[in-house]
Chains A and B, each alone.
Chain A
Amino acid sequence: MTIDTGNKTYLQQSDAVRARFDKIRQREVILEARHLGKKYISAQGEVEALRDINFEIHRREIVCVVGPSGCGKSTLVRTLAGLEKHSSGEMLLDGKPVTGPGQDRGMVFQGYSLFPWLTVKKNVMFGPEMNGASHDMAERDALLWLELVGLDKFANAYPHQLSGGMRQRVAIARALVNQPRILLMDEPFGALDAQTRIKMQTNLLDIWRNVDITIVFITHDLDEAIFLADRILVLKAHPGEVQEMIEVPVPRPRSTAQFGGPEFRATKQRLEELIHPPVQHEENEDEKAIKPHLLRFTHVTDNVE
């Protein structure tokens, strides 16, 4: 019974938060998935990566996607980007079905996918140039967006000269300069250290506040998901299905001070209930086989605890 009450608290929204969600729901739908499914053939036979995924994402919303490993969250975002083909259902961007990759959906990858042979500025200019902008226009846009992510001083550096966080800033600028309808981010801060990650999250929210952009953000870090998201799409594994779409009750504007707050804790508790128990169970099957047999290699009096 206690768990039940714990389950419910994340649903309680303050008036301000409820009003915000009402406003979001009134905005037009940018991205819609209808009965989206994805199967592929692997060495072990047919694998169902995604099954019957349904959701609607409104303009200027941040939706985070979380789930246990193998739940297909990367497959989902790659499918949204058009890098992988879905096998059933449909995916609509502004009401029109999506087939291949395109400039209307920008993507930021976990690995630093910058072009190593181009300087930071030329990396950002790449998109506009591919879409027919003149050199001068592309350069002007690139410098503008580099200023926005705070890297205008590094315009002529090569990516390998930058830190991980700076590279991801370039990647964000490179995606946004194309003015996509939606920004897809596949665990973009996963490889960064904790401090840099917090900074990048705050910066991303700053950018989102100032730019007309809708964000779909994949992460395995629950704190990150709660901190960034309006709503969190929770997937379950084998096959990847929607478990729940959670409206995050933490009020905006967000700050790192909210991390210990009651809404934050309630949401995190709910996410952990959804994600962790089955995962631990499944992983234990492999882990059970490993039984360390500890021998004492130090003197009996030489104790560390």
Chain B
Amino acid sequence: MFGTGMSNVSGWLSKSLMARRHALQVLGSFLLPLLIWCAVSYLPFIWHPKMLVEVPGGVDYFRAGMLVDKSVFQDELTSMQAQNLELPQGKPANPIYLPAPHEVAKAFYTAFTKAPEQKDLPWLHESLWHSVTIIFWGFLISSLIGVPLGILSGTYSSMARLNEPFIEFFRYLPAPAFGALAVAVLGIYDAPKISIIVIGTLFQQILIIANTTRKLDPTIVEAALTLGTGRLRMLSRVVVPGILPDLYRDQRILLGWAWTYLIVAELIGTSSGITWFITQQARYQHFDNVYAAIMMIGIIGFGMDILLGKLGRRLFPWDRSQKKE
């Protein structure tokens, strides 16, 4: 009794230790890049290729708050020394396109709390929401066509031979190349953007789902045949439930791809959404806002994937491959 109790305790201990180590590793994978970013930003002896001019001194084109190359600053410093003029003063700085973490964090916060500078500009969250709706419609339309077609191609080889060669060809055509065409056909607002996401996702989707369907254990289909399953029911009662967990996983990966097409899609016609926000902010050199927006995309995408992963484990309790994640 005592012995088993001990082994249970030690088993539990090693399990919780394992879980803690895993959590630490996950945390570490995020902390490491953040630490590097902090080091580059806050330690003046790492990188900092520019000088932030604090006192222009005798250099006529220097202004306070100006960023100049270190070499230029050094040249001007020696030339001022030679001419016995007032020396410029400055401190090492990073280029404008690399804001420090705290600046990005502040931008992240103010994006939601402070109204945009121009009245007619959308808030960050409005831009984001617009982007999310584009993704949603694009992915929905793509899935409505791609999932059934993929399953049919995976089940019936004649169906696969009929459409897969063309799809194989078509998927090599870059979706953004259809931008101009999409605008000509669908106008300048959301429709062409959605269509780019559909073009970018659909063809991969059909092929991936067809492959997933083909990987269904053939003895499961054979077992169903010997139990008297007809052709139509085979699809609905065996093939679809059989591939569902893998199909779900495919869809999660494909949703990630849809996000990567978002930026290109939003540049088409009247640019909109998060892309428009980013390009606008970059134009005014508000790079802290740019980083905040990019991170927002990452957080939404990653968060959605974690959520869908959790949901998947709930939905498919029999799927053992998911436990390995």
Contacts and interface: CB of A to CB of B under 8 A. Distances in A.
A106 B226 contact: yes
A72 B121 CA distance: 75
Interface in B282-325: 316-320
Interface of A: 81-83, 100-103, 105-107, 109, 111, 113-118, 126-127, 130-131, 158-160, 171, 174-175, 178, 184
B223 to A, nearest CB: 4
Interface in B220-240: 220, 222-230, 233, 237-238
A130 B316 contact: no
B219 interface: yes
A113 B318 contact: no
Contact of B223 (A105, A107, A131, A158): A107
Interface centre among B228, B238, B316 (most CB of A within 10 A): B228
B316 A107 contact: no
A115 B223 CA distance: 9
Given A109-B219, A117-B244, A130 B226 contact: no
Contacts of A171: 223
Contacts of A107: 222-223, 226
Contacts of B319: 116
A102 B241 CA distance: 22
B176 interface: no
A174 B219 CA distance: 14
16 contacts: A83-B226, A101-B228, A103-B228, A107-B226, A109-B219, A115-B223, A115-B242, A116-B319, A117-B241, A117-B318, A130-B227, A130-B237, A160-B320, A174-B223, A175-B227, A178-B228
Nearest to A129: B237
Given A113-B220, A115-B241, A117-B242, A174 B318 contact: no
B168 interface: no
Contacts of B220: 113, 115
Report whether over half of chain B's contact residues are helix, strand or loop; otherwise say mixed: helix
A119 to B, nearest CB: 9
Interface residues of B, number: 23
Given A111-B219, A130-B233, A130-B237, A117 B226 contact: no
Contact of A109 (B223, B228, B230, B242): B223
Contacts of B222: 81, 83, 101, 107, 109, 113
Contact of A101 (B217, B226, B317, B318): B226
A127 B230 CA distance: 11
A160 B241 CA distance: 16
Nearest to B228: A103
A113 B219 contact: yes
Contacts of A105: 226
Given A158-B317, A158-B318, A178 B219 contact: no
Nearest to B220: A113
Contacts of A160: 318, 320
Interface in B179-225: 217, 219-220, 222-225
> 4 closest A-B pairs (Cβ-Cβ)?
A103-B228, A113-B223, A127-B227, A107-B226
Contacts of A174: 223, 227
B229 A159 contact: no
A101 B226 CA distance: 5
Contacts of A82: 225-226
B318 A130 contact: no
Contacts of A83: 222, 225-226
Interface in B103-161: none
A102 B225 CA distance: 7
Contacts of B233: 130
Contact of B227 (A111, A158, A178): A178
Contacts of A175: 226-227
A82 B225 CA distance: 9
A107 B316 CA distance: 27
Contacts of B230: 130
A83 B225 CA distance: 8
Contacts of A109: 219, 222-223
Contacts of A106: 226-227
A130 B224 CA distance: 9
Nearest to A161: B318
Given A101-B228, A113-B223, A175-B226, 14 more contacts: A82-B225, A101-B222, A107-B226, A109-B219, A111-B217, A114-B223, A116-B242, A117-B244, A117-B316, A126-B237, A127-B228, A131-B228, A159-B318, A175-B227
B318 A126 contact: no
A108 to B, nearest CB: 9
Interface centre among A109, A111, A115 (most CB of B within 10 A): A115
A192 to B, nearest CB: 17
A125 to B, nearest CB: 10
Contacts of A130: 224, 227-230, 233, 237
A131 to B, nearest CB: 5
A258 B222 CA distance: 36
Contacts of A131: 228
Nearest to B229: A130
A66 B226 CA distance: 22
A109 B219 CA distance: 8
Contacts of B228: 101-103, 127, 130-131, 178
Nearest to A106: B226
Interface centre among B225, B226, B237 (most CB of A within 10 A): B226
Nearest to A81: B226
